[in-house]
């Protein structure tokens, strides 16, 4: 049984490596990530993970895993910022407040799909102009939902989370291991 990572996210590859899993192939999904009118963050995130996994072609001996990470500020969906200006706007909105990070994971084998989503509360300190500008300049916000990465320099902005750290980074490992086992991937047999 081969695992196909249906994600171009380097974070997800690294997180899978933590489970001892090296994907046989990486197939990044190409789907429309625009939210629907009035769509709330959690259903949006769950829908995207499912659409990503459905978009990845796979053979009979393959299991595909895809995921989506969305930052939610109240009802507002903060995706990956298009440019530095948008990243600045996201970070200013998140500064000094609590938000939620949702990661949904979908695993496909044949015509069956297993899904889980994890919601983590995250508090960001009030950012000074100096902190904000230094972070924007670092470029670390590129390709990250909400315009920050907790695993990088922005970790200094996060005094508190309630939930799953690995989910915030892009893949909740406990739930992912559960989904892979449910789909019949030999997670622990491989390392014994
Ligand atoms: C909030 C947060 C997000 N992220 C990243 C994880 C995801 O890669 C990204 C959210 O974008 P996603 O759309 O979930 O994923 P992606 O575009 O990187 O990859 P693919 O669609 O091919 O699976 O934000 C962090 O690395 N750290 C964080 O603290």
**Of 56, 48, 57, whose CA–CA distance to 105 is shortest?**
48
Ligand 1: which of 144, 150, 173 to mutate, judged by most atoms within 8 Å of the beta carbon?
Answer: 144
Q: What is the 3-state secondary structure (H, E, C) of 100-120?
A: EEEEEEEEEECCEEEEEEEEE
Q: Is 172 in the pocket of ligand 1 (CB under 6 A)?
A: no
Distance in Å, CA 145 to ligand 1 centroid: 6
In a domain, 173, yes or no: yes
Q: Please report, for the domain that includes residue 78, its CATH number.
A: 3.90.950.10
How many domains is the chain built from?
A: 1
The answer as to whether 33 is a domain residue is yes
What is this structure's pTM? 0.97
Q: Is 68 a catalytic residue?
A: yes
Please indicate, yes or no, if residue 192 is contained in any of the structural domains.
no
Q: With respect to residue 188, please indicate whether it lies within any of the assigned structural domains.
A: no
Residue with the smallest CA separation from ligand 1 atom 6 is 170
Compute the distance between CA of residue 72 and CA of residue 167 in angstroms, rounded to an integer.
Answer: 14
**What ipTM was estimated for this complex?**
0.98
Tens-of-pLDDT digits for all 192 residues of the chain?
899 999 999 999 999 999 999 999 999 999 999 999 999 999 999 999 999 999 999 899 999 999 999 999 999 999 999 999 999 999 999 999 999 999 999 999 999 999 999 999 999 999 999 999 999 999 999 999 999 999 999 999 999 999 999 999 999 999 999 999 999 999 887 554
Choosing from 32, 61, 68, 117, which is the catalytic residue?
A: 68
The answer to the question of residue 191 being in a domain is no
Q: Which helix (H) or strand (E) holds 124?
A: none
Full domain range(s) for residue 145: 2-182
- Provide the terminal-to-terminal Cα distance of the chain, rounded to the nearest Å: 17
């Amino acid at each position: 049984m081969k695992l196909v990572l249906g994600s171009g996210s380097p974070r997800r590859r690294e997180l899978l490596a933590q489970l001892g899993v090296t994907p046989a192939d990486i197939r990044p999904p190409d789907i429309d990530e625009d939210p629907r009118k009035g769509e709330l963050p959690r259903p949006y995130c769950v829908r995207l993970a499912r659409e990503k996994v459905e978009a990845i072609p796979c053979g009979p001996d393959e299991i595909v895993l895809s995921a989506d990470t969305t930052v939610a500020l109240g009802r507002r969906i903060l995706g990956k910022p298009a440019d530095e200006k948008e990243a600045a706007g996201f970070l200013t909105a998140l500064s000094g407040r609590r938000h939620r990070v949702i990661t949904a994971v979908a695993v496909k084998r044949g015509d069956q799909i297993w899904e889980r989503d994890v919601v983590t509360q995250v508090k960001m300190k009030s950012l000074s102009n100096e902190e904000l500008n230094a972070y924007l300049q670092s470029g670390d916000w590129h390709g990250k939902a909400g315009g920050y990465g907790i695993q990088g320099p922005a970790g200094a902005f996060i005094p508190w989370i309630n939930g799953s750290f690995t989910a915030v980074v892009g893949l909740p490992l406990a739930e992912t291991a559960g989904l892979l086992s449910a789909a019949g991937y030999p997670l622990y047999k491989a390392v014994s």
